[in-house]
Amino acid sequence: MGAVLNLVEHNLHEVQVGDTRMLFHIPSSSIFALDQLTAGILDRLRKGKQSAQALMEDMGKLFSVEDVGETLKELLALELVNDGRPLTDDISARTVDKFPLTTVVLNVNTGCNLSCTYCYKEDLDTPSAGRKMELQTAIDSVEMLLRESPDEDRYTVVFFGGEPLSNRPLIEAMVEYCERRFPEMGKKVDFVMTTNATMLNDEIIDWLNAHRFGLSVSMDGPKAVHDKNRITVGGQGTYHVVRRKALRLLERYDSRPIGARVTLTHGTTEVENIWDHLFNDMGFSEVGFAPVTSGDISDYNLTSEELQEIFAGMKRLGEHYLEAALEHRNIGFSNMHQLITDLHEGHKKALPCGAGLKMLAVDHEGDLNLCHRFTGSDMPTFGNVSNGGVQQAELGDFLSKRLDRTDTGCATCRIRNLCSGGCYHESYARYGDPTHPTYHYCDLMRDWVDFGIEVYSRIMAHNPAFIDQYISPRRAH
């Protein structure tokens, strides 16, 4: 072994968890506890390059030569140590020419009965001016999904708005259509909807329950927080009506867990208080937080100080999540739950999400948007469900541009395969370019992932059964 060995710093990251050094293997998003031999090799190479022979002799004073050689082989295979051979590119393909679509988002109505101050929907209208999707456009969307991606086993149809229930006849007609069409082809279909809850009644709840909708309710927390931004067209707060109807939903709905989606804007940073209200007082199964830093109306964007405060609050809530997990309880903090899922399953993302790849959003005119956040924006669309379908060349060019991490700093970032540059819409709103990395989140996200590694490692060490019960089956329907 006469080769010169060096450490591949951009492929590894260490997090100290108690007395244990945890190694985050960046290319695979895997986590290992470092034994003394591995730690010793890494520490020596961190001081500078060494010949394989010198390293073997040095480590052979403390460990068997066989063990040192075997460990070095493993480190070379993981590309944590390199002997001069070319390194594997994190991204196996630099172009996108296949689109395994499984999800279509139907923007069934631009109209909404609320007038939330921070709403990102650029095509939002008042109820009377709402532009509703025609049934044929919705049918064409589903047929486009099946035509473009015929080999999938399971598909998802998402109903979005405005307030989607303001076009209830279309939703009911499409559920009937899909429940006939997909089984005809030996396929399964799931329905998903985000609602502001104001139009719910027992009949609608029972119908949604019968068809096993995956439901999320937009609710921002206690009255003082919720009524700050989630108001009617006439300017009235909606907390009392949303609370009453959401409680009725939670009481009657039993086919799937129901989550709350919280939007955090300027002046709203009390993560723990909001979670406590929605999880403990209201009874939602999960509570997820979406900070707004790049909305069209700058008055509602969080300041950098507020964003730091929010992440500090999320880490405090994460400590509570850990404490509960060690007692085999799940407190429904979905941001933490998702991070633990990503780490446990070893997620490795070349792109930040499935937008454009596994999912497309259809606006009321049938145009194909990258995701639901882009409907009504100036962002170019990628075809039309009724006129030619997906423009694969244009969509492939767009996604391929985001794959290119050259000169972005992303190529060597330790969370590059979990973040992959961040949300397209955040980049579009802040920088005017959806392929631009979301640099304003970088340091906070790196710290958040480090925290997640610590939480995950402690759960795996002291109560791995929590992972088996609450993480592994999470995606099951």
Token pair listed for 268: 């709203």
Higher pLDDT, 162 or 395: 395
Q: 91: exposed, middle or buried (C-beta count within 10 Å: 0-12, 13-18, 19+)? A: middle
Cβ pair 161, 109 in contact under 8 A? yes
> What per-residue confidence (pLDDT) applies to 94?
75
Q: Which CATH architecture has domain 103-369?
A: Alpha-Beta Barrel (3.20)
Q: Is the pLDDT of residue 2 over 80?
A: no
The model's confidence at residue 348, banded by pLDDT at 50, 70 and 90, is: confident
> Which of 17, 16, 222, 197 lies closest to 114 in space, CA to CA?
197
Q: How far apart are CA 461 and CA 440, in angstroms?
A: 34
> What per-residue confidence (pLDDT) applies to 126?
54
In the chain, % of residues over pLDDT 90: 76
> What per-residue confidence (pLDDT) applies to 477?
43
Cβ pair 314, 335 in contact under 8 A? yes
Q: Is the pLDDT of residue 368 over 90?
A: yes
pLDDT per residue over 220-266, tens digit each? Answer: 999 999 989 888 778 889 999 999 999 999 999 999 999 999 999 88
**Mean pLDDT throughout 450-473?**
94
Kindly report the number of other CB atoms within 10 A of residue 377's CB atom: 19
In the chain, where the domains are located: 4-82, 103-369
> What per-residue confidence (pLDDT) applies to 476?
45
Q: Is the pLDDT of residue 174 over 90?
A: yes
| Upper half-sphere CA count for residue 194 (Cβ side, 13 Å) | 15
pLDDT per residue over 100-138, tens digit each? Answer: 999 999 999 876 766 666 665 555 555 555 689 999 999
> What per-residue confidence (pLDDT) applies to 376?
81
Cβ pair 152, 100 in contact under 8 A? yes
Three-state DSSP class for 109?
strand
| Upper half-sphere CA count for residue 100 (Cβ side, 13 Å) | 5
Q: How far apart are CA 351 and CA 372, in angstroms?
A: 17
The rounded mean pLDDT for the chain is 91
E-strand spans in 161-220? 188-195, 214-218
DSSP state of 355: B
Cβ pair 56, 2 in contact under 8 A? no
Amino acid (one-letter) located at 66? E
> What per-residue confidence (pLDDT) applies to 162?
79
Q: Is the pLDDT of residue 475 over 90?
A: no
> What per-residue confidence (pLDDT) applies to 120?
53
* Cα dihedral 321→325→328→332 (10° resolution): 40
Q: How far apart are CA 303 and CA 306, in angstroms?
A: 5
Weakest mean pLDDT among 111-115, 285-289, 301-305, 402-406: 111-115
Cβ pair 175, 192 in contact under 8 A? no
Higher pLDDT, 92 or 236: 236
DSSP state of 133: P
The residues facing 289 across adjacent strands are: 262
Q: Say what the pTM is.
A: 0.91
Question: Which CATH number is 4-82 given?
Answer: 3.90.930
Q: How far apart are CA 113 and CA 122, in angstroms?
A: 16
> What per-residue confidence (pLDDT) applies to 377?
85
> What per-residue confidence (pLDDT) applies to 96?
85
Cβ pair 200, 239 in contact under 8 A? no
Cβ pair 457, 343 in contact under 8 A? no
